[in-house]
Amino acid sequence: MTTISSDFDVESVRRDFPILHQRLLGDVPLVYLDTAATAHKPRSVVAKVVECFEQYNSNVHRGIHQLGDRMTTELELAREKVQHFIGAGSSDEIVFTSGTTMSLNMVAHGWARKFLKPGDEILLNSMEHHANLVPWQLAAAATGASLKYIPLTDDGRLDLTTLDQLLTPRTKLLAVTAMSNVLGTINPVAELAERAHAVGALICVDAAQSVPHLTTNVRSPQIDFLAFSGHKLYGPTGIGVLYARRQLLEAMDPFLAGGHMIREVFLDSSTWADPPAKFEAGTCPFIEAVGLGAAIDYVQHIGLSQISHYEHLLSVRAHEQLAQVPGVKIHGPSVEHKGAILSFTVDGVHPHDLSDLLDRRGVAIRAGHHCTMPLHELLNLTATARASLAFYNTMEEVDALAEAVRAARQVFRLK
């Protein structure tokens, strides 16, 4: 077995997450291995949200009283934190949305529907989450553009051998996840961006799974659109981000219309405010945005490279431990090509039964198609069990997962 060494102080980190210290039915400790679905929130994020509600809750960008000014200042500070966290050139390129899904829909509506025409192509692949597939299907249907797919290798990576044939001057957009929420595959975004740009296409990156675990820089490589969710980044629900280059935000149509996103309104027409306001119609989730800013502070305080390193060690251990359980198949690439997400099947045990049995031991995993039906079709499976790890997990919890899977097999009397 690989020697695992890390000076990462996981016990100190865990003290920041009160939810982790509970016992569940049967007096078993919680082993939370479902961070890819949503991450827990450190005390500092909860405290910041409480501070907002208790001390200066007030609607933003109205500029009429002291509470409103304070809340607006906090919101714009959070926007700057996001900007620096992902390496954007300006905070005006940071649009607050409700999450990854809305961010991607914003591009599909505001950019794709405006600029695509029959004959144009959008290049996708079948490991994408539905949030990075279905909006493009609708945009293609509305514009007459067509969808093309980069094939996958047997081990669940993008097969780039056909990329030269697939990427042509007809390609207008390449939409790709930076990290698969099922296979854990880390996709070569830098190479894809460069090759897409070489044919004049734009790249849209679904960073929902990568932003919490890997360093992101939207200017190196140059990314055109990038989407992620606050709740997977240890922040509140209901807040997400769309990053887009300023020229694209200026060229795109707004997604939602109403208050705040306008410059002037007449009875028969309107003009738009500058980005990001143009894309933030109505009252934005300003307290959630401030909570996201606090989450970014927290992650940066620990350090993303520390986080990535420790999570990789957890992932190595999890792969080794699970691989030793008879009948277990882990889907996706080998551990060096992926983030700390393990989707697996156990011969003779349905993933839903497995997750139910694991839950009785306090081990929380997810079972199902994880919003990737085309990927599961390709794997010839209807469902997988998925354990997803974060820096607040311990080696002991990883061992508890493997132990619980062994025990589940025994319930089914599997040899």
Give the C-alpha separation, 39 to 237, whole Å: 10
304 binds ligand 7TS (CB under 6 A): no
Q: Which of 72, 126, 181, 216 binds ligand 7TS (CB under 6 A)?
A: 181
* Contact track, ligand 7TS, 371-390, x by CB under 6 A: x-------------------
Smallest CA-to-CA distance from 135 within 208, 223, 204 is with: 204
Q: Does 364 bind ligand 7TS (CB under 6 A)?
A: no
Catalytic residues: 371
Q: Does 105 bind ligand 7TS (CB under 6 A)?
A: no
Residue nearer to ligand 7TS on the CB measure, 62 or 352: 352
Residue 36 or 86 with smaller CB distance to ligand 7TS: 36
* Cα 113 to Cα 93, 137, 142, 163, 251, distances in angstroms: 20, 11, 7, 25, 12
Q: Which of 83, 125, 209, 343 binds ligand 7TS (CB under 6 A)?
A: 209
- Cβ at position 136, least distance to ligand 7TS in Å: 13
Q: How far is the CB of 109 from ligand 7TS (least distance, A)?
A: 15
What are the φ/ψ torsions at residue 147 (nearest 5 degrees)?
Answer: -105, 135
| Contact predicate 105/243, CB 8 Å | no
Stretch that binds ligand 7TS, among 108-116, 134-142, 365-373, 396-404 (CB under 6 A): 365-373
Task: Please say whether the beta carbons of 85 and 215 come within 8 A.
Answer: no
Q: Does 125 bind ligand 7TS (CB under 6 A)?
A: no
- Of 19 and 251, which has the nearer Cβ to ligand 7TS? 19
Which residues in 263-302 are b (16+ Cβ under 10 Å) and which e? eeeeeeeeebbebbbbbbbeebbbbbbbbbbbbbbbbeeb
CB 322 within 8 A of CB 341: no
Residue 5 φ/ψ region, left for φ over 0, alpha for ψ in the -120 to 50 degree band, beta for the rest: beta
Using DSSP bridges, classify how beta strands 146-150 and 366-368 pair: parallel, antiparallel or unpaired. Answer: unpaired
- Residue 101 within binding range of ligand 7TS, rule CB under 6 A: yes
Residues in the chain: 415
Nearest position to ligand 7TS, beta carbon: 181
> What residue ranges in 183-231 does DSSP mark as E strands?
202-206, 225-229
For ligand 7TS (CB under 6 A), the number of binding residues is 17
Nearer to ligand 7TS, 72 or 132 (CB): 132
Q: Which residues bind ligand 7TS (CB under 6 A)?
A: 36-37, 99-101, 129, 131-132, 177, 181, 206, 208-209, 229, 366, 370-371
